[in-house]
């Protein structure tokens, strides 16, 4: 087969003379042509032979040209269609374009006009095919990259980490000089940092809207926030920061994915603790806002400089400073959080005053209100 496959063109028209003349002109150009005398035969052929370009007469007995266009788009939106019109009224042409036709040719037309319009249509087809190929390649590259990161980076890291743990294990460490122990400890910490980076990265690649929403359900935020707060209590104690969850009884349920939303709150609350000061506070509270629930995480920490505010949700961005440097972090936490929240059709915003503190607000859609179903259960 030749590298450049021949383009296939299908002509659907009830007039035999049009079918034959088009077919003749276009085969001479080197295209593979086929014809159909009405819409239903035409659509059958489209499904069977997958042409690159279809010429459709607008006015035919049986299925109309417009209906053919509509079905064509459903079969394959990348097939280019050109409309043949008896009377080139602007209205019918506009209508046809709305239904996805690429162009139209008014009857009667000369072979030159036909050739020109076909060439343009096929150029469009070539671009559409190229785009589709590029899209596929991009997806494959992303998938390859994820498996590369998983297997080639994560597995060896886990292995190295295990060796360190064994060496640093108390029995053996008795035999280590203090200096060696300290260096190994630091190396092990760096490996933790790398593992965190790899895991964050994988998580971020995994968050695709259409994947998250398969796990959506309606649920109560309270236990989820309680869990996040409980998990972070040791960090708060160590940092001498008071962590508080305000009472939130009677708050409506939300609609979303529990697992990823837990990650969101753990990151935001842990930021509030990390970028804080001794004796500071982090308060988590929930309120209703229209069709949304708003979770506020307010801290009395170091605050964020105004010029950094638009950047903190970017990948890998961290504000420069003493406090930030003190904590191991990848700068991916908030960008992951934003992706997750946006996949929920929610929003995440921040207000901050340098030196005073910050409040992060997560808006999540409320669960749809279910009508209470009467259960015909007979109680004893």
Angstrom distance (rounded) from CA 201 to CA 281: 30
Rg (CA), the chain: 32
Q: Which is nearer to ligand ATP, 164 or 313 (CB)?
A: 313
Q: Which of 39, 333, 346, 357 binds Mg ion (CB under 5 A)?
A: 333
Q: Which is nearer to ligand ATP, 318 or 344 (CB)?
A: 318
CB of 341 to ligand ATP, least distance (A): 13
Place of tokens 């035969």: 41
Contact partner, 318, from Mg ion, ligand ATP, none, Cβ < 5-8 Å per class: ligand ATP
Q: What angle do CA 326, 183, 181 make, to 5 degrees?
A: 115
C-alpha distance across the termini of the chain, in Å = 78
Q: Give residues in contact with ligand ATP (CB under 6 A).
A: 200, 267, 271-272, 275, 299, 301-304, 312, 317-319, 324, 329-335, 358
What's the distance, CA 353 to chain centroid? 32
Choices 56-64, 117-125, 263-271, 313-321 (CB under 5 A): range interacting with Mg ion: 263-271
Q: Which is nearer to ligand ATP, 254 or 298 (CB)?
A: 298
Longest CA–CA separation in the chain, Å:
97
Choices 91-99, 206-214, 233-241, 268-276 (CB under 5 A): range interacting with Mg ion: 268-276
Residue nearest to ligand ATP (CB): 333
Q: In terms of C-beta density within 10 A (0-12 exposed, 13-18 middle, 19 or more buried), how is residue 360 classed?
A: buried
CB of 247 to Mg ion, least distance (A): 26
What's the distance, CA 98 to chain centroid? 28
Strands 347-353 and 357-365: antiparallel
Structure tokens at 149: 């990161």
User: Would you count residue 301 as binding Mg ion (CB under 5 A)?
Assistant: no
Q: In terms of C-beta density within 10 A (0-12 exposed, 13-18 middle, 19 or more buried), how is residue 258 classed?
A: middle
Q: Which is nearer to ligand ATP, 39 or 329 (CB)?
A: 329
CB of 275 to ligand ATP, least distance (A): 3
Pair 274, 327: CB distance under 8 Å: yes
Angstrom distance (rounded) from CA 329 to CA 360: 18
Residue nearest to Mg ion (CB): 333
Q: Which is nearer to ligand ATP, 214 or 320 (CB)?
A: 320
Query: What is the secondary structure of 51-67 as a DSSP string?
Result: -SEEEEESS-SSS-HHH
DSSP H or E stretch at residue 117: helix 111-148
Q: Which is nearer to ligand ATP, 66 or 319 (CB)?
A: 319
Angstrom distance (rounded) from CA 122 to CA 26: 12
CB of 316 to Mg ion, least distance (A): 12
Question: Among candidates 127, 128, 120, 125, which has minimal Cα distance to 52?
Answer: 125
Q: Which residues pair with 210 in a beta bridge?
A: none
CB of 233 to Mg ion, least distance (A): 17
Q: Which is nearer to ligand ATP, 260 or 358 (CB)?
A: 358
Contact partner, 102, from ligand ATP, Mg ion, none, Cβ < 5-8 Å per class: none
Q: Which is nearer to ligand ATP, 79 or 362 (CB)?
A: 362
Q: Which is nearer to ligand ATP, 57 or 200 (CB)?
A: 200
CB of 211 to Mg ion, least distance (A): 23
Contact partner, 34, from Mg ion, ligand ATP, none, Cβ < 5-8 Å per class: none
Q: Which is nearer to ligand ATP, 35 or 300 (CB)?
A: 300
CA dihedral 23, 28, 33, 34 (to 10 degrees): 40
3 state SS of 75: helix
Place of tokens 């170091």: 302
Q: Which residues pair with 281 in a beta bridge?
A: 242
Q: Which of 35, 81, 271, 335 binds Mg ion (CB under 5 A)?
A: 271
Q: List contacts with Mg ion (CB under 5 A).
A: 267, 271, 333
């Amino acid at each position: 087969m030749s590298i450049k496959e021949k383009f296939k063109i299908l002509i659907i028209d009830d007039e035999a003379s049009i079918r034959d003349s088009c077919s003749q002109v276009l085969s001479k150009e080197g295209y593979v042509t086929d014809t159909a005398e009405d819409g239903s035969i035409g659509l059958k052929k489209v499904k069977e032979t997958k042409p690159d370009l279809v010429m459709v007469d607008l006015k035919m007995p049986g299925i109309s040209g417009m209906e053919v266009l509509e079905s064509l788009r459903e079969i394959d939106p990348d097939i280019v269609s050109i409309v043949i019109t008896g009377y080139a009224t602007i209205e019918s042409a506009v209508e046809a374009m709305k239904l996805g036709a690429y162009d139209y040719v008014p009857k009667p037309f000369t072979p030159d006009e036909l050739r020109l319009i076909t060439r343009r249509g096929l150029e469009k087809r070539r671009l559409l095919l190229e785009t589709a190929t590029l899209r596929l390649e991009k997806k494959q590259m992303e998938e390859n990259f994820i498996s590369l990161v998983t297997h080639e980076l994560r597995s060896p890291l886990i292995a190295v980490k295990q060796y360190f743990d064994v060496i640093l294990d108390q029995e053996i460490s008795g035999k280590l000089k203090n200096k060696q122990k300290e260096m190994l400890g630091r190396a092990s910490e760096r490996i933790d940092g790398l593992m965190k980076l790899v895991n964050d990265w994988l998580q971020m690649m995994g968050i695709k809207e259409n994947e998250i929403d398969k796990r959506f359900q309606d649920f109560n935020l309270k236990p989820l926030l309680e869990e996040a707060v409980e998990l972070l209590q040791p960090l708060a104690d160590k940092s001498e920061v008071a962590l508080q969850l305000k009472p939130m009884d009677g708050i409506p349920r939300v609609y979303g994915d529990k697992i990823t939303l837990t990650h969101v709150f753990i990151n935001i609350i842990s930021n509030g603790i990390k970028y804080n000061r001794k004796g500071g506070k982090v308060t988590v509270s929930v309120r209703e806002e229209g069709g949304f629930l708003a979770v506020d995480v307010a801290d009395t920490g170091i605050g964020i400089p105004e010029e950094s505010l638009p950047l903190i949700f970017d990948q890998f961005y961290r504000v420069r400073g003493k406090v930030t440097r003190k904590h191991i972090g990848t700068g991916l936490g908030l960008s992951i959080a934003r992706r997750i929240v946006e996949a929920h059709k929610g929003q995440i915003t921040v207000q901050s005053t340098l030196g005073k503190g910050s409040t992060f607000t997560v808006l999540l859609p409320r669960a749809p209100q279910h009508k209470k179903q009467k259960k015909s259960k007979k109680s004893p």
